[in-house]
Structure 1
Amino acid sequence: MSSNPPPPTSKQVQSAPADAPADAPATESTTARRESISQRSENSQTAADFIRDQMQLEADAREALPYSIENCTKPLGSLRQNVFACLTCNPPPHSPAGVCYSCSVQCHGEHELVEIFQKRNFTCDCGTTRFTSDQPCTLRINSETNTKGGVHSEPADPNNKYNHNFRNRFCSCAIDYNPHEQKGTMFQCLGLGTHEDGGCGEDWYHPGCLMGLGPKWYESSKGNSKSNRNGDGSLPTITEDGLPPDNAAVADGEDEEEEDDAPLPDGFPSEDDFDHFICYKCVDANPWIKRYAGVPGFLPAVFFNKGDGASSPKKRQRDDEDNVGDEANEAKRLKSEQTEQGPLVSSTPQDNTPGAEVAGNLKEESKIETEEELTREIACKLDSLPSASPGQFSLFVRDNFRDQFCRCSKCFPKLLPHPQLLEEEEAYEPPLTDEASEHASTHASGSIYERGESALRNVDRVRAIEGVMAYNHMKEKLKPFFEQFAGSGKAISAEDVKEYFAKLRGDQEAIQEAGEAAKADNRHEQSGY
């Protein structure tokens, strides 16, 4: 081994002058170490910075989860609400279960969840027999202990309906939904039936699957459309030298951006043209609704399979409008003929006395009203509509579609099982977090800063005064410590804090041990090994 000293490293300290004290290198090493630690304390922050960062994190959390998570919705009964399926507690193909918004965070926050969005007539399953007893609901009151949490094995609502969404499968293609791979928009059906009776149970669909093309129909035609035509449908332009024009690079960049959003198939309505839709499964389960395709409030039928010989949507719309116009003209002609014939005259002999004349008039008016009521009941809107088109198709509707349904004595019973066809549904939403924290006085809500203030207000007065005095005493002790760093602009390291509190305790032995440890580290670094 060479006797020459190794070359200096970045951790070495230069030799002290000859007249320096013997412990000068150790002192300088300790100072250099402290400065090095201070310089590396990039994550050091003041109390104000910490509070500000915490409040920003809580604000971000409220934006992602804006509603209160304090109460389970099971006591409220059956609701239209946001539902989540827990694949950790109920992995396929086990019995499915759904939980409410609050339970998805408080009881299953660390589990693998599937957001199913809104489901009607659903009661939260958390803490019921659809979950094991070791996965209780932490939000409801336990009837045995009269305390919050620990609720399990309660009977589940037998009226809850489940489909394959609770297994993270959506659409008629039954694809496992992955939000990171999913492109384009999926649409939720109004749901005119459950999975058991032939409907879909408010399933979500890809536009291509509604037309029988599959979820990724656009991938097969993407290459052809790019190679043969420009984005506006025109043929590509070639310059005299055979090179593409200068704007070709810009068009390619736009194509890459558009790849994130899957296009809509030809014949599929634009998202701005409809408010809801009813899938072909639910239409088949309720064939009476087929005749409304193309009437005001309803878009022309969107067929599941274009190869079934069905006419194009535009042609069907023109035919339907012609049929409706002809039948409307016929109805006007009949009404005109009835008007020309004059009012109906009763053949019953009438008395000429004034009392008999009044009674006869009342009887005649009552008869006319009865006939008008019968006429209204008989006049079914479906009689003026064209016959239903053959084949499977989905219905896309506008916001006024409910006003178009016939409500005669024959048709109204068909609407009763589907309240969503009679009026707009109201979905339950928990109160917003901000509103809950403003009116809450418990430690269970509000930000960390607000909880601290609330706890301080609830402290006994004597203890509060003692705490304030202790705080002031500590502040006076720490003030000189902070001032020395404030003057130099250096960050405070963990070693600085430990050393200062050791001095406050009078722990001189600990200080000496720390100094000796620093000397040992310094000698080890200078050895070069």
Structure 2
Amino acid sequence: MAEEQTVSLVDVLEENEELEEEASAVLAGSDSDLCSYPQGYVKRQALYACSTCTPKGGEPAGVCLACSYKCHEGHELFELYTKRNFRCDCGNRKFTELQCKLFPEKDELNTQNKYSQNFFGVYCTCSRPYPDPDDQVEDEMIQCVVCEDWLHGRHLGVVVPDGVELQEMICESCMNNNSFLWTYTAHLSVPAAAVEVKGEPNTNVPKEEEKGDDVMEPSCKRSREEAEPGCRLKELQEIGQKRVQSGAVFWPSAWRSKLCSCNTCKERLSAAGLSFLLDESDTVLAYENKGKSSEQRHQGPDPLMSALDNLNRVQQLEIIHGYNDMKTELKDFLQRFAAEGKVVTSEDIRQFFEQQQSRKRRRDDGRFYSP
């Protein structure tokens, strides 16, 4: 008889802890109780778009985490993950029939907010929803650090390198719009091989003629010849080493610190709206780490983990069985909300656990016994 595969309670709890950390990474950096509007254009925060209040064809709008809970309960929301330099729109002029419950005194519009197709629930160069019910291909979505759109790995024009979660990506369109960035690719970027996906032409990305290193942005006030002495960008241009200028570009950890920060380059980045590239704390990884640290400070030591040493094997197996039953039922419960695009509220969770408590205890003949 084959030996029954077992799993320890520690394994179960560690797996659950990983899932909680992923959620904390995005949500713990944002306040779930207070509208972020008084903070102005927040450096980075978790955002949502409400298709119930601002349907496709209307004006795009984004709401903060707290407003998604308190003002848009039961609405169809699109999760936008995080966006930079955004001010909560909830209840402003774009919401004709809704007033923000948390901070109603808002300006009519947030003129510095930037919007994209994401605010209507579509992503990538293929402009499809995520998850896409008509797409049977398993493919990860990767966010461009410049336009902050999410793109399918197969639509990037390059083979996605290993360890992509530790890197940042700039899509081909953003690279071409800021052609001076190509100068850095041969020296700073992760080597990538071009990829051709048959049967899926990427028709939404205009093919531009290859731009040389001498091409600068029209808004730049100084020419290459007038660049300051010691300009790293100019030094790299003079080396002349090039990489094929096509496809998305992946950048390794800490690549931003190696960009030139002379006055000329700062002006160029500012004119292109890319000053944030000189700020390493702007990265999603930095935001996630901050969220995890904040969550850990609030939680303190886990009393359940601390009590494990005091449980015998019978007690541990009993807890594992009950925990796995509860986790399966909770997953099914939450999937119903995900399928309907609804936000899970604290009241929904309370009702779930009330239903759990009202169920009968397991029958005695179903208990586990130690060998």
TM-score (ref. length: structure 1): 0.40
Deviations 1:202-255 (A, max 9, x none): 1001110112xxxxxxxxxxxxxxxxxxxxxxxxxxxxxxxxxxxxxxxxxxxx
CA contact (8 A) 1:170 1:204 kept: yes
Q: Which position in structure 2 is the counterpart of 1:187?
A: 142
Paired residue secondary structure (2:66): helix
Q: Which position in structure 2 is the counterpart of 1:414?
A: 268
**Whole-angstrom CA distance in 2 between matches of 1:392 and 1:126:** 39
CA contact (8 A) 1:304 1:392 kept: no
Deviations 1:371-425 (A, max 9, x none): xxx8535993223433545553221000121233234454342233323321213
Structure 1 position 130, deviation (Å): 1.1
Deviations 1:313-333 (A, max 9, x none): xxxxxxxxxxxxxxxxxxxxx
Among candidates 29, 46, 50, match of residue 82 of structure 1: 46
**Whole-angstrom CA distance in 2 between matches of 1:393 and 1:301:** 9
Matches within 5 A, 1:338-487: 376=230, 380-386=234-240, 388-389=242-243, 391-416=245-270, 417-426=273-282, 427=287, 435=298
**Whole-angstrom CA distance in 2 between matches of 1:209 and 1:387:** 26
Q: Which position in structure 1 is the counterpart of 2:361?
A: none
Structure 1 position 173, deviation (Å): 0.6
CA contact (8 A) 2:186 2:241 kept: no
**Whole-angstrom CA distance in 2 between matches of 1:411 and 1:304:** 32
Paired residue secondary structure (2:253): coil
Among candidates 97, 102, 110, match of residue 157 of structure 1: 110
> Is 1:292 aligned with 2:184?
yes
Among candidates 153, 159, 180, match of residue 207 of structure 1: 153
**Whole-angstrom CA distance in 1 between matches of 2:262 and 2:251:** 21
Deviations 1:158-193 (A, max 9, x none): 1111110011000001012227777332110011xx
% identical aligned pairs: 31
Mark the runs of 5 or more structure 1 residues left unpaired by the alignment: 1-59, 141-150, 192-200, 212-264, 308-373, 437-446, 449-529
CA contact (8 A) 1:103 1:126 kept: yes
Letter of the structure 1 residue corresponding to residue 67 of structure 2: C
CA contact (8 A) 1:128 1:156 kept: yes
**Whole-angstrom CA distance in 2 between matches of 1:184 and 1:114:** 19
Letter of the structure 1 residue corresponding to residue 125 of structure 2: S
Structure 1 position 121, deviation (Å): 1.0
Query: In structure 2, do the counterparts of structure 1 residues 403 and 435 end up closer, same or farther at CA, with 3 Å as the change threshold?
Result: closer
Paired residue secondary structure (2:281): coil
TM-score (ref. length: structure 2): 0.55
Letter of the structure 2 residue corresponding to residue 418 of structure 1: L
**Whole-angstrom CA distance in 1 between matches of 2:107 and 2:296:** 28
Q: Which position in structure 2 is the counterpart of 1:178?
A: 131
**Whole-angstrom CA distance in 1 between matches of 2:128 and 2:34:** 33
**Whole-angstrom CA distance in 2 between matches of 1:69 and 1:389:** 44
Deviations 1:466-502 (A, max 9, x none): xxxxxxxxxxxxxxxxxxxxxxxxxxxxxxxxxxxxx
Deviations 1:503-526 (A, max 9, x none): xxxxxxxxxxxxxxxxxxxxxxxx
Among candidates 71, 74, 77, match of residue 110 of structure 1: 74
Among candidates 24, 36, 51, match of residue 73 of structure 1: 36
RMSD of aligned Cα (Å):
3.5
Structure 1 position 306, deviation (Å): 8.3
Letter of the structure 1 residue corresponding to residue 93 of structure 2: T
Deviations 1:130-177 (A, max 9, x none): 101x3111112xxxxxxxxxx277412111111100110000010122
**Whole-angstrom CA distance in 2 between matches of 1:78 and 1:283:** 25
